């Protein structure tokens, strides 16, 4: 009989980068969102979210602005809205085909 680790059932569930990108884009609206809100919505630590946000800014999916209180605010662009819509469609199709877990 082989030994079964008690931690086996408690493995972290990893999300695909596509689903993470979608989670972040869904957390950002046109009025702007703070990184704390985005990190909470995406269930990710701030440094990791910041890395993803920087990439999204460079690719024109979101903008980064400083509000009147000196807080960094992220806003989704038209391009970001379109990419979000397309990613939702892709994620839906991948789940329907069984290529992506339903809980993602």
Instruction: Give me the CATH number covering residue 41.
Output: 1.10.10.10
Structural domain includes residue 103: no
Indicate the pLDDT class of residue 103, thresholds 50, 70 and 90: low
Structural domain includes residue 3: no
What is the count of structural domains for the chain? 1
Domain of residue 40 covers 14-96
Which residue is associated with the tokens 């702007």? 32
User: Cα torsion at 11, 15, 17, 21 (round to 10°)?
Assistant: -130
CB 98 within 8 A of CB 104: no
Sorted by sequence, the CB contacts under 8 Å of residue 20 that are 6+ apart come out as 42, 44, 52
Q: DSSP per residue over 58-104, as a string?
A: HTTSEEEEE-TTS-EEEEE-HHHHHHHHHHHHHHHHHHHTTSS-TT-
Structural domain includes residue 39: yes
CB 74 within 8 A of CB 62: yes
pTM: 0.80
User: How does pLDDT run across 7-60, given as a tens digit for each residue?
Assistant: 444 443 567 888 999 999 999 988 899 999 999 999 999 999 999 999 999 999
User: How does pLDDT run across 71-94, given as a tens digit for each residue?
Assistant: 999 999 999 999 999 999 999 998
* Residue 33, pLDDT score: 97
């Amino acid at each position: 009989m082989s030994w079964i680790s008690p931690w086996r059932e408690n493995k972290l569930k990893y999300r695909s980068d596509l689903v993470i990108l979608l989670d972040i884009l869904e957390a950002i609206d046109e009025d702007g969102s703070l990184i704390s809100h985005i990190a909470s919505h995406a269930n990710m630590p701030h440094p990791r979210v910041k890395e993803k946000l920087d990439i999204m800014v460079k690719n024109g999916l979101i903008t980064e602005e400083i509000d009147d209180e000196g807080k960094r605010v992220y806003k989704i662009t038209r391009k970001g809205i379109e990419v979000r819509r397309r990613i939702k469609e892709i994620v839906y199709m991948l789940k329907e085909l069984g290529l992506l877990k339903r809980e993602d």
